[in-house]
Amino acid sequence: MPSNHPTPLHIAIIPDGNRRWAKAQSLHPWKGHEKAIENFRMLTDWCQSDPRIGALTVWCFSTENWKRDPKEVSKLMTLLEEYIIRERPNLQKEKTRLVHSGRTDRLPASLVKLLKEVRKETEHFTEFTLNLAVDYGGKDEIIRATRKATESYQLPTTNYQLPDDPIHPFLDHPELPDIDLIIRTSGEFRTSNFFLWQSAYAEWIFTEKLFPDFTANDLEKTVEEFERRKRRFGG
């Protein structure tokens, strides 16, 4: 399908509603996450096959999600690890680069090791990037980037001129383009500390559907709605 944009789009999804979906089915909360993982694979497949899309970012776990029941958190980490293991061959087949945004110091060591291994295996792919935001928060990323920038720019002269954008090079993935479209499911209308720097000029689309019910057809419709919008970037 042709695109109206000169460069491939960077789409991001905040997949809300997994626990509500499970509750409506009288299931444990992690059953909603299991269904979400299945759904996520289908949506990733669609993005990989559409030439308009160059990157997909999905918020898997936020810096605030540690407040949840430890059993649910543990199950979610296991599901993420199982998903990456299962998808490892497919990432190679689909020439997909896998990256991770967020902290690693609080994640299970096995998950961190797996993320590093798959990132290394797929780093040469350039057509499509899958960015998993795990233990991610927008404020946290900016704080970490600012600390790195402060250390980097400590020079012995006061005449040093800072670059126009001194923070961007120190974000988790400065090589990724800013986000073009953010989709939030389940009827929530909050930005919730999601990629604050990279979403400065993103278009937002909110849908009432719970994420486990959000289909590839729904995703295609949101992209079509996005392409009907006129982006002026303040001009």
What residue spans define the domains of the chain? 13-138+177-228
Burial class of 85 by CB neighbour count within 10 A (0 to 12, 13 to 18, 19+): exposed
At 164 the three-state DSSP class reads coil
* Strand arrangement of the beta sheet that strand 128-136 belongs to: 96-101, 128-136, 53-62, 9-14, 181-184, 203-206
Residue 50 in tokens: 């559409």
Going from the C-alpha of 30 to that of each of 25, 36, 75, 194, the distances in angstroms are: 12, 9, 7, 23
pTM of the predicted model as reported, rounded to 2 decimal places: 0.92
Q: Which CATH class is domain 13-138+177-228?
A: alpha beta
Task: List residues with catalytic annotation.
Answer: 16, 65
Per-residue CA distances from 157 to 54, 147, 162, 165, 231 (Å):
41, 19, 12, 20, 41
Q: What is the pLDDT of residue 233?
A: 79
Mean pLDDT of all residues in the chain? Answer: 93
Tens digits of residue pLDDT in 101-152? 999 999 999 999 999 999 999 999 999 999 999 999 999 999 999 999 888 8
As given in the structure block, the two tokens for residue 112 are: 């961190």
**Radius of gyration over alpha carbons of the chain, in Å?**
18
Residue in the structure block whose two tokens are 């090079």: 169
The pLDDT tens digits of the residues spanning 155-183 come to: 555 566 777 788 999 999 999 999 999 99
Least confident span in 27-31, 167-171, 213-217: 27-31
| Identity of the amino acid at 58 | V
